[in-house]
Amino acid sequence: MNLTTGLDLGESLLSRRNRYQFLATFLVNISTFAHGIGIGWLSPVMRALQTPDSPISFVVLVEEVSWIGSLLGIGSVVGNLLAGLLQDRIGRKPVILALTAPYVCFWLLSYFAQSVEYLYLARLLAGVTGGAGYIVLPIFISEISDAKIRGRLSSMVMLSVNMGILTGYILSTNVDYYVAPFFILPLPVCYFISNLFLPETPFYLINKGKFGAAERSFRYYKNIRDDDKSSMLEFEEIKVKLTKERALSVNAFNYKDFLTRPALKAYSMAILLIFTNQFTGTFCFASYMSDVFTLSHTTLDIGMCTIIIGVIQIVGTYTTTLLCDRFGRKILLLISSLGCGICLATFGSFTYFAERYDLSSVGWMPLLLLSLDVFLCNIGLVGVLFVVLVEQMPAKIRSVAVSGCIILLSSTVFLSLKIFPLCMEYWGISITMWSCSLVAFVGFILFLCFLKETKGKSMLEPYFKMLLKLLESPNCLLNRRNRYQFLSTLLINLICIAHGIGVGWLSPTLRKIQSVDSPLDFSLSISEISWVGSAQGLGAVVGNILMGLVHSRVGSRLSLLFIAFPHSCLWILVYFAKSAEYLFIGRFLAGITSGGLYVVHPIFLSEISDSKIRGTFGSMVFLSVNVGVLLGYILGTHLAYHIIPFVVLILPISYFISNLFFIRESPMHLIRKGKYSEAEQSFRYYKNIREDTQNNEMHEFDAMKEALTQSDKNLDRVTIKDFLTRPALKAYGSAAVLSFVSQCSGLLAMISYMSDIFALSGSTMDPDTCTIVIGIIQILGTYTTTLLCDIWGRRILLIVSSAGVAFSLTSFGLFSYYAQSHDLSQWSWAPLLFMSLNIYLGNIGLMGCYFVVIVEIFPLKIRTKATSAALVVCGIFFFVSLKVFPVCMDQWGIPLTMWSCAGISAFGFFYFVFSLKETMGKSMLED
């Protein structure tokens, strides 16, 4: 699928019909972004206001802090009432423009504050902006947007708020109290000017009888040309329906309309959703995040933790925009409420035991748990809140009922913000978190039993029917046909997790070995470090060649079992290490496992999986590796050197046993060996087809058998010419560029030397903590690949990935360059931000799609040999990058090293744009 085709899809936000709806949504959400800045900015500031070093002339007490926080809720109620009364009288657009005034006053009062009353009034006015925005913006967006994209556009409200919260966290941490307002005040000015040019919604104009203006508005938001008459049929239907409703409701709008059965059900669900949203503490965390981390017994820097949570919020709400219109609202709310309950209960338990025992060795746990809680909250309880509130209400009372719900929401915001700091003060953080988790669990049960799906305005589909429909989807990994393919993928990826641990473990361990507190009896020079790091690359080449030679002979199953042994030897050699040679050989053996699994896993997964989910399974290889890398970072940082091998050896042993009993040889290999009966049994196993079934699904097996049998007849006649066909030569070029860019852009080398990179970057943050954060970002990147690989295709992800890596590495190099001659300590979070962008964007394409594309681009006749050769080339590039990267950092310095990697990524970007072809949906029997 090329870029033009993607933009022409009806569900793309940038398609011709949708682009002005997206533009309008973007412009009105400048207000929510600015509102989020005000929320996030105050969290670290309120902690500073309670100290003797307060940036203003007075100190604020805990009771006053609770009032400052909670007055946002009272202001929201005022804003709700004003917007609810005015939006149907004067229109949506004037209310949207009026949001500017109280927000500007908020920053002026904060700047000129002489007493706590100034801050009270400022927060009250900020609440007016937020409350009015939460009323008018969801209705405005729902009235201009198509049903297919309404969920995504509506969820952008909370995405913008969370981006603002992150920006506010960063500003308050790094910018002086009296400087921050000058950064923010241009935003409401830009918001006001840009929204002046947006038309009123067609729904409001029709209700006011302004049909000419309504038609012009409809044409604008749907991007319909004046000569396009057919597209206006939808407008005529809307006009007739709204005109009829308006005529019928002139004398019929009374209290009975609010007491119908659908209305009462909608009220109960709205109340449940609002109470669960607020009393799980989600909004309170955003306002009191710094205080929560202060009381959590974390050993990490509180300012950095707050910024990370801001990033996680954005990822959560962005995930909502991806999934809301695909899986529906209810499933997201169920996952969100259950996940929040588990995370908050665990967080409370951690703080409970941390008050009684020394848990400093796992001081990163509060950040991990709160990150999971915030992410899960934002994909459901926060992200779809306004979408569900609007869609639940009957059309006749929707405007008034939604306004009433938002007033209730604002009241609960006030109540939760008022009592949350008092609960932490008098109950303690543990009981407070357990109380929030109880609310989340109750919400989960009630959502499961009573909430109706609203996706596509449907209020009739029960949850179990929706779940069955989801499970019957060809792209669902748990549907009847795919579930054994998914199980096999999970089992074989145990060794990928173990391999990732070995990769991630090295980064913090190398710093320990070079320190005076080395756990070993010897130290390593720069040259020895480069050899220990690059030995895995040499081993990978050997593993590539070995698996390339034996895989077609012994099959995937035996090859999968074999790669457990060299990995086990790594940890045995690590434990008994007496010199650098032990580590070198251990890493070399780990490389054999690496090279072997990168040959066997993609081929095996492509041979057992359906084409619609093959990309997802292929990208799970690197997702598993990145999970392991994160675990390796954590283990290498917090566990003793000689304990780690005993912990990790459990994985290859479990992998070997599970694969021995549950993995069958692929049907393609068995057909090539003439074992047709076993091949059919294998096909039935992986496609979950019963023995007594002879249906259309078995025609696929017959076609596979015929194609492979015909191929085998020509197998002995494979000559040099088969490797020199035009498709083969094009595939070599693409494979060579992809291997070169993925390795020499430094992504894998940076994983191995991450702690050293942060130590040399000019950042004042703890290198090991930054390394763990990067491990989390890696997982998010490859998880994003599993979501998008079979939706958007491989090519677009590679293009975005290579461009993003080039940008972020260039920025990282610039920061390091100026940090050598200037004091950039107040921007010490920048290296973490740029490296997070680099790793995230690198993993959504260059890493996450690599093995999927490598297998798919080669012609069938030479696929196995060509894939093995490509991976050998990749392994050579891997060895070279690991060998020269620490030397380049030592001789060239960080800036030049990063700029070189950025140049390679930029080269890859241009190649992918102009030369790479899409392989999504390609049959593995095709050339």
pLDDT tens per residue across span 505-522: 877 787 777 777 778 887
Residue 523 and residue 641 in one domain: yes
pLDDT at position 138 over 90: no
Q: How confident is the model at residue 101 (pLDDT cuts 50, 70, 90)?
A: very high
For residue 50, pLDDT beyond 70:
yes
pLDDT band, very low/low/confident/very high, at 572 (cuts 50, 70, 90): very high
**Mean pLDDT, rounded, for 825-854:** 81
Question: How far is Cα 118 from Cα 110, in angstroms, rounded to an integer?
Answer: 7
Percent share of the chain, pLDDT over 90: 7
State in Å, rounded, how far the first CA of the chain is from the last one. Answer: 17
Per-residue pLDDT for 926 more than 70?
Answer: no
Q: pLDDT class for 461, splitting at 50, 70, 90?
A: very low
Cβ–Cβ contacts within 10 Å for residue 492, how many? 28
Does residue 404 carry a pLDDT above 50?
Answer: yes
Residue 249 has pLDDT above 70, yes or no: no
* pLDDT at 744 exceeding the cut of 80: yes
* pLDDT at res. 467: 45
Average pLDDT, the chain: 79
* Residue 319: pLDDT band with limits 50, 70, 90: confident
Mean pLDDT in residue range 701-721: 68
Model confidence band, residue 457 (pLDDT cutoffs 50, 70, 90)? very low
Q: Which amino acid is at 627?
A: V
CB atoms within 10 A of CB 910: 12
Q: CB–CB of 815/762 below 8 Å?
A: yes
Sign of the CA dihedral running 118, 120, 123, 129:
negative
Q: Count Cα neighbours of 442 within 13 Å in the Cβ-side half-sphere.
A: 14
Q: Which of 37-51, 94-108, 467-481, 545-559 has the lowest mean pLDDT?
A: 467-481
Mean of the pLDDT values across residues 704-727? Answer: 70
- Tell me how many domains the chain contains: 3
Residue 251 confidence class, pLDDT cut points 50, 70, 90? very low
pLDDT of 795 over the 90 cut? no
pLDDT, tens only, 295-310: 888 877 777 777 787 7
Residues 404 and 495 in one domain: no
Question: Is the confidence at residue 216, as pLDDT, over 80?
Answer: yes
**Integer-rounded Cα radius of gyration of the chain:** 29
Question: What's the token pair of residue 418?
Answer: 């008022």
What integer is the mean pLDDT of 588-604? 85
Distance of CA 410 to the CA centre of its chain: 29
Mean pLDDT computed over 92-114: 90
Q: Which of 20-34, 183-197, 249-263, 545-559 has the lowest mean pLDDT?
A: 249-263
Q: Do 193 and 217 fall within a single domain?
A: no
Report the distance separating Cα 722 and Cα 720, nearest Å.
5
Average pLDDT over residues 280-287: 74
Amino acid 566: pLDDT: 92
Are 244 and 266 part of one and the same domain?
no
Span 374-402, mean pLDDT? 77
* Continuous H helices in 115-199: 116-144, 147-174, 180-184, 186-195
Whole-angstrom Cα distance, residue 385 to residue 141? 14
Give pLDDT, residue 2.
47
What is the number of alpha carbons within 13 Å of residue 463 lying toward its C-beta?
15
Instruction: Give the angle 160-161-165 at the CA atoms, nearest 5°.
Output: 115
User: Within this chain, do residues 579 and 617 fall inside the same structural domain, yes or no?
Assistant: yes
Backbone phi and psi for residue 507, each to the nearest 5 degrees, phi listed first: -60, -60
Band (94; pLDDT cuts 50, 70, 90): very high
Model confidence at 568: pLDDT above 80: yes
pLDDT score for 466: 45
pLDDT of residue 5: 46
Output the pLDDT for position 220. Answer: 86
Q: Which domain holds residue 240?
A: 199-248
Q: Is the pLDDT of residue 726 over 60?
A: yes
888-892: average pLDDT: 84
Residue 541 and residue 536: Cα distance in Å, rounded?
A: 9
- Is the separation of the CB atoms in 866 and 733 below 8 Å? no
Residues 265 and 281 in one domain: yes
The CATH number of whichever domain residue 493 belongs to comes to 1.20.1250.20
Q: Is residue 92 part of a domain?
A: yes
What confidence tier does 806 reach under pLDDT thresholds 50, 70, 90? very high
Q: Band of the pLDDT at 569, cuts 50, 70, 90?
A: very high
Three-class SS string for 805-819? HHHHHHHHHHHHHHH
H or E element that contains 684: helix 676-687
Predicted local distance difference test score (pLDDT) of residue 102? 92
Residue 379 in domain: yes
Average pLDDT over residues 831-836: 86
Please report the DSSP string for 521-547 in residue order. S----HHHHHHHHHHHHHHHHHHHHHH
Give the pLDDT of residue 577. Answer: 86
Domain assignment of residue 712, yes or no: no
**28 within a domain of the structure (yes/no):** yes
Q: Which of 211-220, 436-445, 694-703 has the lowest mean pLDDT?
A: 694-703
- Closest listed residue to residue 536, CA positions, set 593, 580, 486: 593
| pLDDT, tens digit, 9 for 90 and up, residues 516-539 | 777 888 777 777 777 877 788 788
Residues whose CB is less than 8 angstroms from the CB of residue 546 and which lie 6 or more positions away in sequence, other chains included? 592, 595, 596
| pLDDT given for residue 903 in this prediction | 93
- pLDDT band of residue 458 (cuts 50, 70, 90) is very low
Q: Are 828 and 816 in the same domain?
A: yes
| Residue 105 and residue 204 in one domain | no
Of 78-82, 256-260, 689-693, 802-806, which range is least confident? 689-693
Judge whether 477 and 486 are in contact, CB under 8 Å: yes
DSSP-derived secondary structure letter, 51 = S
Instruction: Indicate the range of 67-71, 212-216, 495-499, 765-769 predicted with least confidence.
Output: 765-769
464 and 526 both lie in a single domain: no
SS3 576: coil
pLDDT of 4 over the 50 cut: no
Stretch 472-490: mean pLDDT: 74
**Residue 394: how many CA atoms within 13 Å on its side-chain side?**
15
Mean pLDDT to the nearest integer, 653-659: 90
Task: Identify whether the C-beta of residue 920 lies closer than 8 Å to the C-beta of residue 793.
Answer: yes
Over 719-754, what HEC string results? CHHHHCCHHHHHHHHHHHHHHHHHHHCCHHHHHHCH
State how far the alpha carbon of 562 is from the alpha carbons of 565, 670, 867, in Å.
Answer: 6, 19, 19
Q: In angstroms, what CA-CA distances link 546 with 496, 542, 566, 664?
A: 18, 6, 13, 21
CB atoms within 10 A of CB 705: 18
Which of 188-192, 255-259, 744-748 comes out lowest in average pLDDT?
A: 255-259
pLDDT at 237 over 50: yes
Residue 697 lies in a domain: no
Same domain, 604 and 744: yes
Residue 272 has pLDDT above 50, yes or no: yes
Separation in Å, CA 247 to CA 196, 205, 207, 240, 576: 31, 15, 10, 11, 86
Give the lowest-confidence range in 287-296, 301-310, 398-407, 712-721.
712-721
Q: Using alpha carbons only, what angle is made at residue 104 by residues 103 and 110, rounded to the nearest 5 degrees? A: 95
Q: Say if 680 falls within a structural domain.
A: yes
Residue 104, pLDDT score: 92
Confidence of residue 803 (pLDDT cuts 50, 70, 90): very high
Q: Could you tell me if residue 191 is inside a domain? A: yes
Length of the chain: 927
Residues near 774 by beta carbon (within 8 Å), at least 6 away in sequence? 633, 754, 832, 835, 836, 839
Final residue before a domain boundary, out of 424, 452, 472? 472
* 212 and 163 in a common domain: no
Instruction: Map residue 509 onto helix, strand or coil.
Output: helix
pLDDT of 927 strictly over 60? no
Which tokens hold the place of 439? 């609310």
Average pLDDT rounded to a whole number, residues 268-274: 87
Report whether pLDDT(841) > 50.
Answer: yes
pLDDT-based confidence at 342, cuts 50/70/90? very high
In a domain, 700, yes or no: no
Co-location of 223 and 363 in the same domain: no
Give the model's pLDDT for residue 244.
66
Does residue 648 have a pLDDT over 50? yes
**What's the mean pLDDT in 835-862?**
80
